[in-house]
Amino acid sequence: MTNETIIRARYAETDQMGIIYHANYFIWFEIGRTEFFRQLSMDYKELEEKDILLPVIDVGCKYVQSAKYDDEVIIRTKLSTLKGVRVTFEYEVIRKEDNELLAKGYTIHAFVTKELKPANLRKKLPEVWEALEGSIEK
C-alpha cells in the first residue's frame, strides 16, 4: 500500500532563495507517515495511548530537484520493512504539476514503550502488527 498526501509548499518553509529548506523534507516525511497510519485507520495518538511510541532511529534523504514556494507536492509513503521491533518507511516527494521526483528518503523507527524499552508489537498489539504487515507491498 502506498499513501499519497498532497501539500502546498508554504513560504515559511523556504530559504532566502525561495527554495524549500532541506530539513523541511523530514517534516513532510512525518506528514506522509501520519497519513499512512490514518489510511490504516490508526493514528499515533492511539498507539501512544496503548503504550507504543515510534522514535526515529535512522533517517536519510536524497535531494533530486528543488521544491519551491507554492509548489503542490505529493508525498508518497510506503512501509518497506517490518521486522522485530523495527519498521522502515520509504518516501518520494513529487512535484504535482510535472510529476518530477524532488526527493526520496527513508525513516527507520523502533517500537518502544513510554519507558523507551523495546516493545514486541506482534505480541502487544497483534491487530496493529497484522495491519502493518498487510500493507507491505510485495
Question: Which residues have a catalytic role annotated?
Answer: 15
Report the alpha-carbon distance of residue 66 to residue 53 in Å, rounded: 32
**3-state SS string for 67-131:** CECCCEEEEEEEEEEEECCEEEEEEEEEECCCCEEEEEEEEEEECECCCCCECCHHHHCHHHHHH
Q: Which candidate, 114, 110, 69, 71, places its Cα nearest to that of 93?
A: 71
Cell representation of residue 112? 518502544
Report the alpha-carbon distance of residue 11 to residue 3 in Å, rounded: 25
